[in-house]
Structure 1
Amino acid sequence: MLDVRTCASLSEAAGILSGDRQAMLIGGGTLVMRDVNEGRLTEGTLVRVTDPAYRQMSVSGARVELGAGVTMAMVLASRELAYLHAPARGIGGPAIRTMATIGGNLFAATPYGDFTVALLALDAQVVLQAGYGSGRAMPLEDFLAGRERGGQGLVTAVQFSRPQNPSELFFRKIARVKPKGISVLSIAAHLPSSSGRVAQARVAYGAMAPLPMRARGVERVLEGKALDQPAIQAAKQAALEGCRPATDAIASEWYRREILPVHLGRLLAGEPR
């Protein structure tokens, strides 16, 4: 039997989740309610959070913080988050975007989770609260690595440094059905430049491994280089390093491997989709 608990504070919700391993947070419901409706989730406690802090956005300073309950529609409504509009727009259609949350996207199974790919390219941190204690920040990459084990606490927010030049954040989602199909793969790249050369490159993929992943081989070859054709060609050659794509109903492993270098090259060159 399913029980629903409504919590007025993040600490109350965190306390329930830490004390009951069968308890599950329900944000926008795009993931959890599908499991409920299709009969895969029939027992446990569903936890709802009404704390306004869960949906707060701090977007104007050097450090951006987005509450885990912030929806994709809220991101799209913010002019100051224009650099995240492309990944937010890649999440379903308008109705889904009014419900789908940033926190929920962190738990989306491959080939979903495109917004998380963009956060990974921004070197984001996840803010976690366990029980009634204070929150702590963890690198998103570490959070994803331990996601399936659970027990990390309630995700309350994500944080990242605001891009100094929004045009240096690139995102591309490849899908067979446009504009809201499921990803064949997605790519995000944050490529700040200094004196015309890439500095602190961050590149991430979706649907090219069991979890969103950093493309460290691509980062390595782009670091310190001008973003010219030789650098782009080197990035394409390193594109598949560390990749473990799956074959599913959307695409085969072979197809994902074939098209990734092509779309990475187009993204880095600024070519239209």
Structure 2
Amino acid sequence: MVICAVHVPESAEAAVDRLAGGGWVMGGGTVVMPLVNSGAAPVTELVSLRRAGLDGVEVRDGVATIGAAATFTTVGERPELAFLRPALRTIASPTIRNQATVGGNLFVAQPYGDLAVCLLALDATCEIAGPDGRRDAPVAGVLASGVAAGEVVVAVRVVLPQPGTWYYHKAMRRRLNSAAIVTVASVTHADGGVVASTRIALGGVASRPVRAGSAERLLRGRPLTHEVLTEVGEAARGDIDPFDDAYASAWYRARVLPVHLRRAFLP
């Protein structure tokens, strides 16, 4: 189809009103525009969030509220979110990071949604605007099912992890600017040398980021040792649904998952 109109509303509510007539939401355009340019977009109108006031980042009382239209570059510039910089630097190129948005990454097919993997490990909450007002939803639900027609993700809220509890590792074909073979992100608290609580999210090993529930259950109450983490990585294979693409085969992704999960905790 040919795009006939691009609307640029100046608030989230105005964006919702525009969506009532159909069309697609566009954040930075890094996902939508390639589809538009190839003629694969099944819409004739776009609703851009560029001027909707959703590009800010606020940190208060240990909670970061990140606007859905905030770019990766904006997020990386905040000192309170410095723990995310190693993840952000592995995503695409600086040019793309200047445009790609936090909200948009929630809807990117694997193996590209590395920030979404981080948000899942952080147990983030999405604020969503729709015809009936605003609501909150776990990021896990948005990643699994998206949002309803006419709704827009306007912000993501994240409780900042305590020092020493954030772990991240991404296996790629190149050191930078490459999609993931396996991505591992985790918030893990240890007490007295053993794991008290843990959340482990995986990317590149299913059609969307997934929680490694089997691995989490096996890791709780145990130390972060090479042997334990290898066993935990083996268990994580039960949480994935890998695929073949130009970067790796499904077999290879499953085969190397235990190695890269261990490297997330023991580089």
Residue of structure 1 equivalent to 2:47:
47
Residue of structure 2 equivalent to 1:137:
136
Q: CA deviation at 1:220?
A: 0.6
Q: CA deviation at 1:112?
A: 1.0
Residue of structure 2 equivalent to 1:153:
151
TM-score (ref. length: structure 2)? 0.93
SS at match of 1:192: strand
The CA deviation string for residues 9-40 of structure 1, in whole angstroms up to 9 with x for no partner, is 111102222x13x4111111100011111221
Q: CA deviation at 1:105?
A: 0.4
Per mean C-alpha deviation after superposition, the further-off stretch among 230-239 and 172-181 is 230-239
Residue of structure 2 equivalent to 1:200:
197
- Counterpart contact for 2:9–2:52, Cα < 8 Å: no
SS at match of 2:181: strand
SS at match of 1:239: helix
The CA deviation string for residues 91-135 of structure 1, in whole angstroms up to 9 with x for no partner, is 21111110010011001011110100001000111111112x432
- Counterpart contact for 2:24–2:47, Cα < 8 Å: yes
Residue of structure 2 equivalent to 1:123:
123
- Counterpart contact for 1:203–1:219, Cα < 8 Å: yes
The letter for the 1-side match of 2:63 is R
Q: Residues of 2 paired with 1:23 and 1:103: CA distance?
A: 17
The letter for the 2-side match of 1:64 is A
SS at match of 2:214: helix
- Counterpart contact for 1:187–1:205, Cα < 8 Å: yes
Matches within 5 A, 1:168-183: 168-183=165-180
- Counterpart contact for 2:58–2:64, Cα < 8 Å: yes
Residue of structure 2 equivalent to 1:242:
239
Residue of structure 1 equivalent to 2:6:
4
SS at match of 1:145: helix
Gaps of 5+ in 1: none
Gaps of 5+ in 2: none
- Counterpart contact for 2:169–2:263, Cα < 8 Å: no
The letter for the 1-side match of 2:246 is A
- Counterpart contact for 2:16–2:150, Cα < 8 Å: no
Q: Residues of 2 paired with 1:177 and 1:126: CA distance?
A: 32
Per mean C-alpha deviation after superposition, the further-off stretch among 149-158 and 2-11 is 149-158
Residue of structure 2 equivalent to 1:209:
206
Q: How many residues align?
A: 265
Matches within 5 A, 1:18-57: 19-20=20-21, 22-41=22-41, 43-51=43-51, 53-57=53-57
- Counterpart contact for 1:7–1:51, Cα < 8 Å: yes
The letter for the 2-side match of 1:246 is F
**Given the alignment of the two structures, is residue 62 of structure 1 paired with residue 62 of structure 2, yes or no?**
yes
Q: Residues of 1 paired with 2:155 and 2:92: CA distance?
A: 22
Q: Residues of 2 paired with 1:97 and 1:217: CA distance?
A: 33
Residue of structure 1 equivalent to 2:260:
263
TM-score (ref. length: structure 1)? 0.91
The letter for the 2-side match of 1:141 is A
1:222 corresponds to which of 215, 219, 222: 219
